[in-house]
């Protein structure tokens, strides 16, 4: 079972970035039936609270409606090699030997 305070999904974060509510997402995922909409809203809430884990077809549909890659729905469990620091995000280029060389920083 997953930790209730640290979920697997970024659905809330994605909705906020799109200025979209959970109800609006439920509307887009259901037919024109108020009972179905309430059911989908409840299901989405349970996913966000780590009480349910959606089937792959449901994740695909959520990603399609939100216009994101399905991988974007998940919180990364692996730290990235490129970490932001005080200078910004490092920028690399490949040198003659094929090695990546840091050439600067991209500010946020």
* CATH number of the domain encompassing residue 69: 1.10.260
pLDDT at 3 (0 to 100): 43
Residue 63 lies in a domain: yes
Structural domain boundaries, residue 57: 11-73
Residue 20 lies in a domain: yes
Give whole-number Cα distances, 3 to 56, 80, 95, in Å: 21, 22, 43
Residue 15 lies in a domain: yes
Read off the tokens for 51. 């009480």
Residue 26 lies in a domain: yes
Number of structural domains found in the chain: 1
pLDDT at 4 (0 to 100): 44
As a 3-state breakdown, the chain gives helix, strand, coil percent values, each rounded to 5, of 40, 15, 45
Residue 54 lies in a domain: yes
Residue 40 lies in a domain: yes
Query: CA–CA separation, 39 vs 42, rounded Å?
Result: 5
pTM of structure: 0.64
pLDDT at 5 (0 to 100): 46
* Per-residue pLDDT tens digits of the chain, which is 108 residues long: 444 445 788 999 999 999 999 999 998 988 666 667 788 899 999 999 889 999 999 999 999 999 999 989 988 776 655 555 556 677 778 888 877 777 877 776
């Amino acid at each position: 079972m997953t930790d209730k305070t640290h979920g697997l999904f970024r659905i809330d974060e994605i909705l906020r970035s799109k200025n979209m509510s959970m109800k609006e997402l439920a509307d887009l995922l259901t037919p024109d039936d108020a009972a179905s909409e309430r059911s989908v809203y409840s299901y989405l809430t349970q996913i966000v609270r780590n009480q349910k884990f959606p089937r792959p077809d449901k994740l695909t549909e959520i990603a399609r409606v939100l216009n994101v890659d399905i991988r974007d729905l998940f919180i990364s469990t692996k730290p990235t090699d490129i970490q932001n620091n005080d200078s910004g995000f490092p920028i690399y280029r490949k040198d003659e030997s094929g090695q990546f060389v840091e050439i600067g920083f991209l500010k946020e």
